[in-house]
Structure 1
C-alpha cells in the first residue's frame, strides 16, 4: 500500500478574510485581527489573529487593570477593496496551512509571485500610521477584504492603513512617489 504523508506545511495569516484559499490549504482557525492600541507607545508592534472561540485559563479577573492590552483592529482606509466600504470596518482573519508547501513569503510591492512559488493571495500592503505612538508591522490585506459582522464603528485600537511608497532612498523609478503598494503571499 502506497500512501503519502505530508509533514509540516507553511502557516500564514490571511488578513481581511474568514477562509483560506481553495488551493491545497486548510483552515486552522478563523478569527479577529487585533493588537495593541495605536495610541499606546508601549504596545506590541505586531498584528495578531485572535480566534473566534477563546478558552480561558484558571486564573483571571474581569476588571480592567494596568496590564498589557489587546484591542480589535479596523480598516482606516477606504482604499482596501474595490466597490467595498472598508473604512472603520473590523478586520477578520484566517490562519491557514499549505498542506504540501513548507515555505511562506510575503512580498511587498508585487501582486504576483516569482517563478516556482504558488500565490496564496494578493492584496494591498498595510501598516499603522507613521504618526501614531505605537509601532506596527507590514502585512498583506486580501484584495477583496471582508468585515467582521458586528462592527463598523470607529472604535480604533489596532489600525490598518494602506502603505504608499516615498521616493528618496527608495528608488523612483521603479517605484512611484505616493503610490499605494500591492503585496502577495507566496508558498513553495
Structure 2
C-alpha cells in the first residue's frame, strides 16, 4: 500500500512539472505579495483560476486512472487467493472423505482406529490342485446367493477353508496347528493407501501401523500356487475348527540365501510383516 501511495505522489509531481507552472506560480506569488497592479492582477488572477481549474481536472482524471489500476490489481490478487483457497479446500475434502480397506488375516476383529466391515473365514483353493487360484479370500459369515444348483459336478472352480500349518518350537504358535483361520475386513478412514511390508514389524516414516505379524504362504512343494499374506502375530482360531481337513494351507515363510542377500537376511529365519496405512 505504501508503494502505491508513493507512486501516486510521484505521478502528481510529474503532472505539476509538465504544466505551465512557471506562469501561474509566479502570478500567485505576486498576487499574494501585493506586487501586481489592481487591473493587471485581476486579469492574471482569472487566468490563474482557469489554469488551476484545468490542472485540478487533469489531476482528477489521472487519479481515477490510478484508482482503476489499483482496483484491477487487487481483484487479480483476490482471484489468485480464491483459487489457492479452493485448491486447498479440495485437498482437505479429499483427505476427509478418503478411506481404504484391508484384510487382517488370523483375526476376528480390527485394530483400534479401524472399522470392522465384516468378520469371516479365510479360504482359497485346495493345496494339491494344479489349477488353483492363488489369492486367499476372506469369506463372510452371512453369504448371499444368486442362481445356483447344489451338488458338485467337477466343471467348476472350488473354494475351501484354510488351516494354519505352523510347526515351531513355540507353545503358543504350535497350539494353533491345523486350526481353521479367521479373518476380518477393516476400513480405516482419512487414509489414501494401505500396504503390506514384508520383513518389517514397524512402519516407515509417514506411515501408520495397522497390525504386524508373520509372513505366510503355501508350502513350496505343493502343486497349488499361492500368494504371500501377512497373518496377525496374535493368532485367533475359529470355534470348532480343530480338525485336519486341509484346504488352503498357511505356512510360515523362511528366508533362503543366494539371490536373496544375506545379510541383511538370515538363512532359514522366519519372516515377519507389517500392514501400514498412509494419508
Q: Which runs of 5+ in 2 are unaligned?
A: 1-92
Contact 1:78–1:86 (Cα < 8 Å) also in 2:
no
Partner Cα separation in structure 1 for residue 200 and residue 262 of structure 2: 15
Question: Which protein is bigger by CA-based radius of gyration?
Answer: 2
Partner Cα separation in structure 2 for residue 101 and residue 80 of structure 1: 38
Partner Cα separation in structure 2 for residue 177 and residue 27 of structure 1: 38
Q: 1:42 aligns with which of 131, 142, 145?
A: 131
1:64 equivalenced with 2:149 (yes/no): no
Task: Determine the structure 1 residue equivalent to 2:141.
Answer: 52
**In the TM superposition, what is the alpha-carbon distance from 1:7 to its structure 2 partner?**
2.0
Contact 1:72–1:90 (Cα < 8 Å) also in 2:
yes
Task: Determine the structure 2 residue equivalent to 1:76.
Answer: 165
Aligned CA distance change for structure 1 residues 79 and 51 (closer, same or farther; 3 Å): farther
Residue-by-residue CA offset, 1:73-113 (whole Å, 9 max, x unaligned): 00011449862511100000000011121211100011110
Task: Determine the structure 2 residue equivalent to 1:106.
Answer: 196
Residue-by-residue CA offset, 1:132-152 (whole Å, 9 max, x unaligned): 101000000000110010211
**In the TM superposition, what is the alpha-carbon distance from 1:69 to its structure 2 partner?**
0.3
TM-score (norm. length: structure 2): 0.63
Partner Cα separation in structure 2 for residue 63 and residue 13 of structure 1: 30
More deviation, 96-105/178-187 = 96-105
Q: Which has the higher contact order (CA 8 A, sep 6+)?
A: 1
SS in 2 for 1:129: coil
**In the TM superposition, what is the alpha-carbon distance from 1:10 to its structure 2 partner?**
1.5
Task: Determine the structure 2 residue equivalent to 1:27.
Answer: 116
SS in 1 for 2:96: coil
Partner Cα separation in structure 1 for residue 254 and residue 117 of structure 2: 32
Partner Cα separation in structure 2 for residue 185 and residue 163 of structure 1: 16
- How well do the aligned residues superpose, as a CA RMSD in angstroms? 1.6
Task: Determine the structure 2 residue equivalent to 1:157.
Answer: 247
| Larger helix proportion of the pair | 2
TM-score (norm. length: structure 1): 0.93
Equivalences, count: 183
